[in-house]
Amino acid sequence: MSEAVWITGIGLVSSLGEGEAPHLAALQDAASRPAVDEAGFAPFPIHPLPALALDSQIPKKGDQRQMEPWQRLGTYAAGLALDHAGARALAADMHLVVAAGGGERDVALDETICRELATLPPGEAGPLLNGRLANGLRPTLFLAQLSNLLAGNISIVHGVTGSSRTFMGEESAGADAVRIAAARLAEGRGETALVGGAYVAGRWDMLLLFGTSGALWRDGWVPLAERGPGGVVMGSAGAFLVLETARHARARGARGLAKLSAIRTGTARRRSDDTARAEAGRLAEGLPLRPGYAVFSGASGASDPLAEEAAFLADLAAAGPAPGPVRHTTDLLGHAVEATFPANLALAALALRAGLVPQALVTGFGLWRGEALALLEPIAEEAGA
Amino acid sequence: MSATRDHLGRHLVAVTGMGLVTPLGLGVAESWAGLLAGRSGIRRITRFPTEHLKTSIAGQVALPEEAGRPPLSSPERVERMAALAAAEAVAQSGIDARFPGPLFLGMPPVEVEWPQRLELARQTAGEAAGRYTAMIAAAEGRRDLFETFLFGGIGERLADRFGTEGAPVSVSTACATGASAIQLGVEAIQRGEAAAALCIGAEGSVAPEAMIRFSLLSALSTRNEEPERASRPFEKTREGFVMSEGAAALVLESLESARARGAEVLGLVLGAGERADSFHRTRSNPDGGAIIGAMRAAIADAGLEPGQIDYVNAHGTGTPENDKMETLGMRAVFGEAPPPISSNKSMIGHTLSAAGAIEAVVSLLTIRDGILPPTINHETPDPAIPLDVVPNAARPARVARVLSNSFGFGGQNVCLVLGAAP
């Protein structure tokens, strides 16, 4: 009934670059810094997308044209994960769970319409709005905008067709996508799953939404530790994982990067004593932590959850074995919302595989809501593996 | 007392509460009465100006709190309709304290909308008028916008209100969304993760931009002069679906736990099947593989043979493409003598993210009352659709097991098998 679940491939793209090498290098260098664009979306610094060799993962130009950067990034990262796991041939029966945000708006059209209609009384603006939209919207953009069409594109481009689900709900969606995919494999409803998300930081439409949180960092980029009580820098990232039952991976001679030994999610209402700290404490109950466990923190940088996470980690250290280093990965990737939790699992899996850490606790503390923990264990080399 | 485990040793999943909000009425009773009467809920759009729209008809739910004020945004409508349906379902289940399981919410993607965008634009001026930079500055401190338009906001507020456990999960699989929400709940109960699950599908996207976008895909009926006759699933002159809105909620519970607390069991969710298509963003593979695969997977998951399905609640959108492909699926799965199939969408339109959940509730009502809801507007049969679509009038039938189909844009197909209470 309960099969061990491994991570057998990762597809990771961030402003640092793509794949294992730049991310492993960044994990090993405490002074490593993400690429920063401070001018393009001022006053907000963001971590931009690196140049992608799109043709290598999305060979048909027609497919590329049907997507905007967010879907392209996700589809690209998903392909990297399949390649990394050597799992292309398994795609037809593979489950797919995507954590998605909203797709790109046509910002130029929005601005043109806003400029024209802002001075009109609402009674006149309504009919005119319809006309401007009917003439201005591009049909292809609708499909590029639909949240579930990242999954649709992954099915079309990579042939992943076992099942397809898209979760929406910011950071929590990323963690629950992994949790539910892993639970289905553990109970024997399939052998492989592709799970992850993508976020493009350089988007005015998303900066409008996240700007209203009041949590975004402004002006020059500095590491999280120098942002006073906190501050969120949005980061571009595509992060997909191939999850696989240990039985299946062994049978096909695939190497496991790490064992996903626990993943738990919850949500504190973050009022009175229903705090993120307490919720994370409940999620951590009974986790078999060992001395020196490394923490890959998915904190967004927002001040309140950052303080809650610090208190939770202190509680954990006081009650259990001595922890190893805590890495706030927002200093490497920025905050990539839905992609954050899968990206941190990918980083942790790489670190375990490279022998950099003995055990990894991955945390998720949503900018607004949602707490998540995952525990990753190394996989011993097996004869013949 | 019958078994509480299924053919695979999993917990049997009971339905102990149902709620509906549709253009035919607020609540299960009104909506079901409308469906059995063959009444159309499609009307001219009155909520917003329809100049320049190719389609000016839709299914619309009149929310009491909207009377005499500008329309609520999509996330606000989704949340209110979801809450109405969930309140009805939870009340029927008799669960009166904290809800003993998670929330799975099927909902559409949401974003800051034109009224908000224009409100912000009105606060900008000069060179920067209408620019995102200036609107972002004007939106500073607007936590209300943040919490309203976050994807996770609706689920959080519903989870808070109904006291569900754990992180709420919001799911979108296009037109299969409502069925996916139910499937997630079924799986959580089957694997023993929870004793119960609150599963909701809700939709509130009837607004100018969404209608224009669907029109650009040539997906919508343009029979604007005859709203009640516009939704024509499986009929020869069908030419698109009619957008609609609404919500449905189901309280799912392990049969064991439902019996232990003496709850009335309204029916069972016997199985679920899914299959993604890799063919095209808006069209199914002409071989029907994914649709057929999802239907067969659901029937097999329920431990049944196709011949044991008494009736099919269709996806039946009324687009030329869907109905042709669904017919192909019916013939492939059921052979020469398929069971009757009818489309609720002929009356309530296509409620998109809510449809799979609404149709699951209707399937259970069909079993309960032994009466098949009709496919209305069936005037000219399509010779390419040799199916008993229960044309125009409801009719009695003994129904123990229903297959409910949901097929989505982006190739996401989910089918459910609903059964009578044991």
Q: Is B256 on the interface with A (CB under 8 A)?
A: no
Q: Is the pLDDT of residue B295 over 90?
A: yes
CATH number of A5-106+140-251: 3.40.47.10
What 3-state DSSP class applies to B248? strand
**Same fold? A5-106+140-251, A260-377:** yes
Please tell me the predicted confidence (pLDDT) of residue A143: 84
DSSP sequence for A99-168: EE-PPPP-HHHHHHHHHHHTTS-HHHHHHHHHHHHHHH--HHHHHHH-TTHHHHHHHHHH---SEEEEEE
Q: Which position has the token pair 């057998």?
A: A8
Take residue B395 and report the two structure tokens written for it.
């009719």
Q: What is the pLDDT of residues A99-123, one digit of tens each?
A: 999 999 999 999 999 999 999 987 8
Name which of B51, B135, B184 is nearest A130 (Cβ-Cβ). B51
Calpha distance B4→A374 (Å, rounded): 33
Q: What average pLDDT does chain B have?
A: 96
Q: What average pLDDT does chain A have?
A: 96
Calpha distance A228→A52 (Å, rounded): 34
The minimum CA-CA distance between A381 and chain B, rounded to whole Å, is 31
Give the domain ranges of chain A.
5-106+140-251, 107-139, 260-377
Please tell me the predicted confidence (pLDDT) of residue A180: 98
Please tell me the predicted confidence (pLDDT) of residue B1: 56
Q: Which contiguous run of DSSP H or E holds residue A18?
A: strand A17-18
- B113-140 average pLDDT score: 96
Q: Is the pLDDT of residue A13 over 60?
A: yes
The minimum CA-CA distance between B215 and chain A, rounded to whole Å, is 9
Closest chain A CA to residue B171: A167
CB B22 within 8 A of CB B59: yes
Closest-CA residue to B172 (of B105, B73, B219, B83)? B105
Closest-CA residue to A128 (of B214, B56, B49, B72)? B49
Composition of chain B by helix, strand, coil, percent to 5: 35, 20, 40
Closest-CA residue to B220 (of B390, B380, B50, B15)? B50
Closest chain A CA to residue B273: A163
Please tell me the predicted confidence (pLDDT) of residue A383: 47
Q: Which position has the token pair 């993210």?
A: B353
The residues facing A251 across adjacent strands are none
Calpha distance A35→A43 (Å, rounded): 16
What's the pTM?
A: 0.98
- B7-13 average pLDDT score: 96
Q: Is the pLDDT of residue A385 over 50?
A: no
Q: Is B393 on the interface with A (CB under 8 A)?
A: no
Q: Is the pLDDT of residue B144 over 60?
A: yes
Give the domain ranges of chain B.
14-109+146-419
> Domain A260-377 is of which CATH architecture?
3-Layer(aba) Sandwich (3.40)
A169 to B169: CB separation less than 8 angstroms, yes or no: yes
A127 to B52: CB separation less than 8 angstroms, yes or no: yes
CB A280 within 8 A of CB A41: no
The minimum CA-CA distance between A180 and chain B, rounded to whole Å, is 9
Q: Is the pLDDT of residue B313 over 80?
A: yes
Give contacts of B275 with chain A, Cβ < 8 Å: 161-163
- B122-146 average pLDDT score: 96
* Percent of chain A predicted with pLDDT > 90: 94
Closest chain A CA to residue B218: A139
Give the Cα-Cα-Cα angle B8, A193, B415 (nearest 5 degrees): 50
CB B301 within 8 A of CB B273: yes
Q: Which contiguous run of DSSP H or E holds residue B327?
A: helix B320-334
- Pairing mode, if any, of strands B267-276 and B412-419? antiparallel
B143 to A213: CB separation less than 8 angstroms, yes or no: yes
The residues facing A242 across adjacent strands are A9, A194
Give residue A384's pLDDT band: very low, low, confident or very high (50, 70, 90). very low
- Distance from the Cα of residue B398 to its chain's centroid: 25
A134 to B135: CB separation less than 8 angstroms, yes or no: no
A204 to B136: CB separation less than 8 angstroms, yes or no: yes
User: Which of B 264-293 lie inside 8 A of A, CB atoms?
Assistant: 274-282, 290
CB B106 within 8 A of CB B200: yes
Buried b (16+ CB within 10 A) or exposed e, A184-216: bbbbebbbbbbbbbbbbbbbbbbbbbbbbbebb
Take residue A230 and report the two structure tokens written for it.
């906190």
Amino acid at A88: R
Q: What is the pLDDT of residues A169-212, one digit of tens each?
A: 999 999 999 999 999 999 999 999 999 999 999 999 999 999 99
Closest chain B CA to residue A115: B130
How is residue B137 annotated by DSSP? H
What 3-state DSSP class applies to A15? coil
Take residue A308 and report the two structure tokens written for it.
């809650």
Give residue A382's pLDDT band: very low, low, confident or very high (50, 70, 90). low
Give residue B122's pLDDT band: very low, low, confident or very high (50, 70, 90). very high
Closest chain A CA to residue B216: A139
B49 to A117: CB separation less than 8 angstroms, yes or no: no
Please tell me the predicted confidence (pLDDT) of residue A139: 83
Name which of A143, A159, A370 is nearest B281 (Cβ-Cβ). A143
Q: What is the pLDDT of residues A58-84, one digit of tens each?
A: 999 999 999 999 999 999 999 999 999
ipTM: 0.97
* Percent of chain A predicted with pLDDT > 70: 98
Please tell me the predicted confidence (pLDDT) of residue A73: 98
Give contacts of A159 with chain B, Cβ < 8 Å: 278
The minimum CA-CA distance between B51 and chain A, rounded to whole Å, is 6
Q: Is the pLDDT of residue B81 over 80?
A: yes
Name which of A163, A169, A208 is nearest B152 (Cβ-Cβ). A169
Calpha distance B75→A346 (Å, rounded): 33
Give contacts of A131 with chain B, Cβ < 8 Å: 51-52
Give contacts of A170 with chain B, Cβ < 8 Å: 150-152
- B14-109+146-419 CATH fold: Peroxisomal Thiolase; Chain A, domain 1 (3.40.47)
